[in-house]
Chains A and B, each alone.
Chain A
């Protein structure tokens, strides 16, 4: 998978790269509209992570150029602006998603993955993690062909864990992703309960030792 990160904050771009890059994912970084245009005209990307406030202009011009050329690269806008007009304009020109800073890297990973897969599989999107088969559009999961009875929250949780495969997910990040009331003192206990339920349901069909507890921090999903 080829990703382009268009972000003028070098430090943030590095964090995004460090989080998203893996054995089958390569990240390129552009800090200006000009650099970004050079890169997108040179090669295709599965997904462009696009900041709007760039030193030499608005990131939307990169998006416009892509659409003008009829390109199919996925685009996730990442911006500190959340004025409704910007959001509508971005999605109108053809961005796939819009995420407001600050965001959790795990959240970005889910959005990028969804964008890439939507473009590639056009609605027929199945993800495999060993015996686990996830149907993203249908929000269902199977292990060895056996349908799992997951609540929407549990499916969302599984989605987040798998999108950040091999990475540690802090409990607070999970709580926020599940739209829990993160300021509630019980939020983290609820996360604990959800993860345990999910683990139990997976174990019932023999899918064990994939979600690891990282003591004092959170959870990590990995395949064998």
Chain B
């Protein structure tokens, strides 16, 4: 989840709750207020009428005639002579209205007045349709106002967020481009925001330290390579010159050959360790595409003699015409090591099954009759003595550097190594 969404979510929830609660509350409060006003009006009207009728000091006949005329006028006041007082009562009713010709909502006030010592039941009423429309209109305006307010705030928030986060996105883009072995260092940019400026400065220092460390390590590896390679070259030259001696005895020749073999092994161990050191200090995986089938085919061709000598049957199953998104040099180191391993530890008359797909590689070979300990298998110099014991360590390191996984399983009688490419 984006940080922005994370900070906005409570705001959204709060806004929604306020909207949902406030609009009905608004409506209810308004309506109540309006009704109270109307009720007050009706009460005043009643009192005015009572006061007016009593003030005129009408005779009973005049009063009866006035009541009949008042009722006939139908101006929202109805009087009916009764025996006893009625309790005050307010109500909202819908009834036919002679003037409009159809049903209308009315607010009515039923009460009792006393004129000339007589008791009258009085009903004062008023059409309230327009009032309801007004309340609905006001509630609608309130809703629209709220929506505009929240919408506007969100829009402004989004715009300012984009501006505020721009330095962050710029830094992220520059960090992604940064490579420790690149000539181009990460440079801090002035953002005008204290927090980001500090982060930029720290990032610059961190990457600078990283680059310095990388250069130092590479120099060390190169020195180590040079310092050991030159003496090995010297020793090798001497041995080869000794081989040319005319009068070598059998014993001397055997000793020389053994010395030469040991030197060769030392050379290859050194190269393997150097490669491992480089993979460990290595830079971010470089992109590129590789053709795994081509690499496997060449590796098998180069080992053709050994395959024939052991009488191995080799099968390669593959998805045709596909490449891997994997650095070609790394892919070669990985696959050549795995193929070499499958041949080296094979048995006469055995087999090798290779399966290549766009996202995986599997190589299965016959060999030792029991499974091997995976915890031990990928360690340096853990070999069975048939090789240097660095091949699998290198293969696994390549996988780690390239974000792939390398697994081992014993599926009798086959030893299976599986590479799964990063997604």
Question: What 0/1 readout, one digit per residue, does chain B (283-322) give for beta carbons within 8 Å of chain A?
Answer: 0000000000000000000111110010000000000000
Does A183 lie within 8 Å of B387, measured CB to CB? yes
- Measured CB to CB, the nearest residue on chain A to B266 is A102
B391 to chain A, nearest CB (A): 10
Question: What 0/1 readout, one digit per residue, does chain A (148-166) give for beta carbons within 8 Å of chain B?
Answer: 0000010000000000000
Q: Which of A9-17, A121-129, A202-210 contacts B (4 or more CB under 8 A)?
A: A9-17
Does A180 lie within 8 Å of B306, measured CB to CB? yes
Can you give 9 A-B contacts (C-beta < 8 A)? A9-B233, A12-B237, A15-B240, A170-B257, A172-B260, A180-B305, A181-B343, A184-B344, A190-B305
- Measured CB to CB, the nearest residue on chain B to A53 is B226
Chain B contact residues, CB within 8 Å of chain A = 218, 222, 225-226, 229-230, 232-241, 243-244, 248, 250, 253-254, 256-257, 260-261, 264-265, 267-268, 302-306, 309, 340, 343-344, 386-388
Contacts of B240 in A (CB 8 A): 15, 19, 104-106, 170, 173
Contacts of A180 in B (CB 8 A): 305-306
Q: Which of A26-34, A42-50, A77-85, A133-141 contacts B (4 or more CB under 8 A)?
A: A77-85
A84-132 interface with B by 8 A CB criterion: 100-106
A19 to chain B, nearest CB (A): 7
Contact among B222, B230, B257 for A83, CB-based, below 8 A = B222
Question: What 0/1 readout, one digit per residue, does chain A (43-68) give for beta carbons within 8 Å of chain B?
Answer: 00000000001000000000000000
Contacts of B306 in A (CB 8 A): 180-181, 184, 186, 190
A101 to chain B, nearest CB (A): 4
B325 to chain A, nearest CB (A): 20
Does B387 lie within 8 Å of A102, measured CB to CB? no
Contacts A53-B226, A105-B237; A184 near B305 (Cβ below 8 A): no
A205-224 interface with B by 8 A CB criterion: 214-218
Does B248 lie within 8 Å of A19, measured CB to CB? no
The answer to whether A142 has its CB under 8 Å from any CB of chain B is no
Does A217 lie within 8 Å of B256, measured CB to CB? yes
A193 to B310 Cα, complex, angstroms: 14
Does A181 lie within 8 Å of B387, measured CB to CB? yes
A185 to B238 Cα, complex, angstroms: 24
Contacts of A215 in B (CB 8 A): 250, 253
A214 to B240 Cα, complex, angstroms: 14
A214 to B249 Cα, complex, angstroms: 11
Contacts of A15 in B (CB 8 A): 234, 237-238, 240-241
Contact among A81, A182, A218 for B225, CB-based, below 8 A = A81
The answer to whether A171 has its CB under 8 Å from any CB of chain B is yes
Does A217 lie within 8 Å of B232, measured CB to CB? no
Which 5 pairs, one residue from A and one from B, show the smallest C-beta to C-beta distance?
A: A15-B237, A102-B233, A216-B253, A80-B229, A80-B226
A12 to B237 Cα, complex, angstroms: 7
Using a Cβ cutoff of 8 Å, how many contacts connect chains A and B?
117
Contacts of B387 in A (CB 8 A): 181, 183-184
Contact among B233, B244, B340 for A167, CB-based, below 8 A = B244
A79 to B389 Cα, complex, angstroms: 27
- Measured CB to CB, the nearest residue on chain B to A176 is B264
A19 to B240 Cα, complex, angstroms: 9
Does B237 lie within 8 Å of A218, measured CB to CB? no
Known pairs A9-B230, A104-B236 / 18 extra A-B pairs, C-beta < 8 Å: A11-B237, A81-B225, A81-B226, A100-B229, A101-B229, A101-B233, A102-B229, A102-B267, A104-B240, A167-B244, A168-B244, A172-B264, A180-B306, A182-B264, A190-B305, A190-B309, A217-B248, A217-B257
Does A19 lie within 8 Å of B241, measured CB to CB? yes
A31 to chain B, nearest CB (A): 14
Contacts of B268 in A (CB 8 A): 182-183
Contacts A106-B240, A184-B387, A217-B248; A80 near B305 (Cβ below 8 A): no
Does A179 lie within 8 Å of B302, measured CB to CB? yes
Contacts of A214 in B (CB 8 A): 253
Contacts of B343 in A (CB 8 A): 181
The answer to whether A41 has its CB under 8 Å from any CB of chain B is no
Contacts of A12 in B (CB 8 A): 230, 233-234, 237
A115 to B136 Cα, complex, angstroms: 97
A217 to B386 Cα, complex, angstroms: 23
A130 to B327 Cα, complex, angstroms: 48
Contacts of B238 in A (CB 8 A): 11, 15
Contacts of B386 in A (CB 8 A): 183-185
A152 to chain B, nearest CB (A): 9
Contacts of B244 in A (CB 8 A): 18-19, 167-168
B327 to chain A, nearest CB (A): 12
Contacts of B256 in A (CB 8 A): 170, 217
Contacts of B234 in A (CB 8 A): 9, 11-12, 15
Does A172 lie within 8 Å of B261, measured CB to CB? yes
Contact among A81, A83, A173, A194 for B305, CB-based, below 8 A = A194
Does B226 lie within 8 Å of A170, measured CB to CB? no
Does A102 lie within 8 Å of B344, measured CB to CB? no
Contacts A83-B222, A153-B305, A182-B268; A172 near B257 (Cβ below 8 A): yes
Does A102 lie within 8 Å of B257, measured CB to CB? no
Does A16 lie within 8 Å of B237, measured CB to CB? yes
Contacts of B304 in A (CB 8 A): 153
- Measured CB to CB, the nearest residue on chain A to B227 is A80
A210 to B250 Cα, complex, angstroms: 22
Contacts A181-B340, A183-B265; A217 near B243 (Cβ below 8 A): yes
Does B226 lie within 8 Å of A18, measured CB to CB? no
Contacts of A16 in B (CB 8 A): 237
B180 to chain A, nearest CB (A): 15
